[in-house]
Amino acid sequence: MSFKHFMQIHSTVYGLFALALFFVPTLLWPLYGVQVNDDYAYFLSQHNSIFLGGVAIIGFMLRDLDGKSHTAKQLLKGLLGTNLLGVVITLYACLTGVFVGFGWSDPAFFALLSLLSAWQIKQISTTNASA
């Protein structure tokens, strides 16, 4: 998968979740076993969308980087770290019973994005080593 294609997919996924957490948190969170039962919880969901949307915007804005550059590799390392943090936090939520039902998809989702990020880093490293 090309760097540009990966960044478009990654940004789209993060962007869709940002929009969902902002506009329909009362529909999305119950799928994970979490209730949005007051204005504060509603706002915190919307607040989360800042960061998800930010990652989406950064990835989208940098999708045209040369996929072999040091900057692209550093961006991918940042995304890998972000996704690994997502694995840890959402797995913790599942193991402690905060996330139930569809909630188990979150650690799997972040793990998949982590693997894809690592694969992209490996592609860049392999390409740069042979150049």
Quick one: pLDDT at residue 127? 74
Contact 32, 101 (CB under 8 A): yes
- Per-residue pLDDT of 61-95, as tens digits, reads 999 999 989 999 999 999 999 999 999 999 999 99
Along the chain (131 residues), what's the average pLDDT of each consecutive run of 10 residues? 95 97 96 94 95 97 94 96 97 95 94 96 83 61
Quick one: pLDDT at residue 129? 74
Per the structure, how many domains does the chain have? 1
Quick one: pLDDT at residue 131? 61
Cβ neighbours of 126 (radius 10 Å): 10
Can you give the pTM of this predicted structure? 0.89
Structural domain harbouring 54? 3-130
